[in-house]
Structure 1
């Protein structure tokens, strides 16, 4: 099964994942509540509009919060509006943007120029 790695150092960012079609956007959640994740845990999707790799926020143990606090803004979670807010635990490279605020989708988006999709688990 595929997994996602850092393009810079090839450190695994996820465990094994299964590709699924891009799910529709979640219904708006009333009040200050976080929406359910756009992609279920253990899966990923590729956005046909942007080419971004869309992941479940719980599937990225190889990442860490960005050291620049200004990248981690939001009210109830991360809004993802200030650039990548997740870095590779191995080398510190910007690898993805998490959105988890009460008014955003609940997902992690990785640009194809920051990560790779591997065919086998390394090691």
Structure 2
């Protein structure tokens, strides 16, 4: 399956499938949280303030860009995602929050109200 922007239907992910074994998740700082090619539905284990976020590897994200509002792009070595959605589809619709700072595992949490599976 691929994920698309609900507003404009632009593909925003490569092919992903549900991760069959959550023991494959990596909580180490500055490393990929989820393997490439997979997704999980967050049950608030990542404390995201985003109910049922769809989490994928940043390398599986396509047709997206950083938010134009620079106040949402905080972090020291990457983006910490603490200031709201910081990723847009290429047509400027907010799709989710990138977490890529040095003190956290790296992933993107896609908002299920803004994206859908196709």
* Fold similarity call, TM over 0.5: yes
The residue number in structure 2 matching 1:16 is: 15
TM-score calculated relative to the size of structure 2: 0.85
Name the Cα RMSD after superposition: 1.5
Rg larger for: 1
The residue number in structure 1 matching 2:3 is: 4
The residue number in structure 2 matching 1:121 is: none
Q: Where do 5+ consecutive residues of structure 1 fail to align?
A: 119-123
TM-score calculated relative to the size of structure 1: 0.82
The residue number in structure 2 matching 1:97 is: 97
The residue number in structure 1 matching 2:112 is: 112
Where 1:58 maps in the other structure, the secondary structure is helix
Return the offset for 1:115. Answer: 0.3
The residue number in structure 2 matching 1:60 is: 61
Return the offset for 1:48. Answer: 2.4
Name the CA distance, whole Å, in 2 between partners of 1:56 and 1:62: 14
Q: Which runs of 4+ in 1 moved over 3 A?
A: 21-25
Q: Note if 1:44 corresponds to 2:39.
A: yes
> How many residues are aligned here?
110
Q: Where do 5+ consecutive residues of structure 2 fail to align?
A: 45-50
Where 2:71 maps in the other structure, the secondary structure is helix
